[in-house]
Homo-oligomer: A and B are copies of this chain.
């Protein structure tokens, strides 16, 4: 995409040749962690300050922070999966539909009966398996069918949502397995279970992307698939794995959404694809692949969620929210770029 238009001067470049090791390490830290995401963090902080100023009494409360986190949790898990797919040079438009299908399948009468008789783990397993299976189909179509990811996952989007409608007969399926709702709706050490799940998924995602051979290969496949192939990486198999991972994340998100809404429905997860891609891209992952950051994605999700929260707290009209949202996104990105550039000089 045309971010490549930037002149060579502006590409994020790196530390000096002769920096002593200590400075180099801290510089590396700056670059990889805080540094690269500095602009995003600042944008988030500014947003929070606006929140405190305009709705201080309610915004800065612990309960509100938890609300924001709970809202961020579901789309956050989806976005982590999306980060992998996009970093690996693909895209997944079917995430929302997969969430819907998994939620519906996991809340059919049969599954719920099984869960009620034995354990809610059956519902969870169903959701995960459905998500991963859809992801597998996506991956096979892309890697072996050689269908461009956009079209393959668009087809999955249509098919999965249709299937969800058929299975649920377009009814909202209410969850009657109380143990399920109690567990996932509950809290641990004062933090909602959903938020824990989000944190775990994000942490696991970070480790996998940055600390494992799988992650390293993901960057290679997304950065230059031909080079990766010639370097001996099983590019096709890896691509399949990435889509399965995304599907799995959708399965997890489905469980979370089921707990939040106590329902499974074919209308769940609408437009998640846009939300997730937006969070991933604003976080700094390249749409063309080869560069991706989980931390950025998480902050991206938080920015969008906080934005909604601040808007609602201020009782803004939906239309005005829309316009303001557009403007704020632009300002946030410009701000981030300025900071990224200056932190490099």
A162-B336 Cα distance, complex, nearest whole Å: 25
Residue in B91, B229, B319 whose beta carbon sits within 8 Å of that of A5 in the complex: B229
A320-B169 Cα distance, complex, nearest whole Å: 11
B146, A10: Cβ atoms under 8 Å?
yes
Query: What 0/1 readout, one digit per residue, does chain A (200-219) give for beta carbons within 8 Å of chain B?
Result: 00000000000000000000
B334, A147: Cβ atoms under 8 Å?
yes
**Minimum Cβ distance to chain B for residue A293 (Å):** 14
Residue in B149, B155, B235, B282 whose beta carbon sits within 8 Å of that of A1 in the complex: B149
A272-B5 Cα distance, complex, nearest whole Å: 27
* Count of A interface residues, CB-CB < 8 Å: 70
- Tell me whether A152 is interfacial, beta carbon within 8 Å: yes
Residues of B within 8 A of A323 (CB): 158-159, 162-163, 166
A88, B2: Cβ atoms under 8 Å?
yes
A148-B91 Cα distance, complex, nearest whole Å: 16
CB within 8 Å of B: which of A286-322? 287-289, 317-322
A150, B278: Cβ atoms under 8 Å?
yes
A222-B4 Cα distance, complex, nearest whole Å: 10
- Tell me whether A326 is interfacial, beta carbon within 8 Å: yes
| Residue on B nearest A280 in the bound complex, by CB | B150
**Minimum Cβ distance to chain B for residue A62 (Å):** 30
**Minimum Cβ distance to chain B for residue A229 (Å):** 7
A230-B67 Cα distance, complex, nearest whole Å: 51
- Tell me whether A248 is interfacial, beta carbon within 8 Å: no
Interface centre among A5, A88, A146 (most CB of B within 10 A): A5
Selecting from A53-61, A125-133, A137-145, A171-179, the interface stretch reads A137-145
A322-B159 Cα distance, complex, nearest whole Å: 5
A321, B162: Cβ atoms under 8 Å?
yes
**Minimum Cβ distance to chain B for residue A259 (Å):** 26
Residues of B within 8 A of A44 (CB): none
Subset of 24 A-B contacts with CB under 8 Å = A1-B289, A2-B142, A3-B149, A4-B225, A10-B146, A141-B330, A147-B337, A150-B281, A151-B282, A151-B329, A154-B329, A155-B329, A156-B326, A158-B325, A159-B322, A159-B325, A159-B327, A162-B318, A162-B323, A163-B323, A165-B318, A166-B317, A166-B319, A288-B288
Using CB atoms and an 8 Å cutoff, list the residues of chain A in contact with chain B: 1-8, 10, 88-91, 93, 141-143, 145-152, 154-163, 165-166, 170, 221-222, 225-226, 229, 235-236, 239, 274, 277-278, 281-282, 287-289, 317-327, 329-330, 333-334, 337
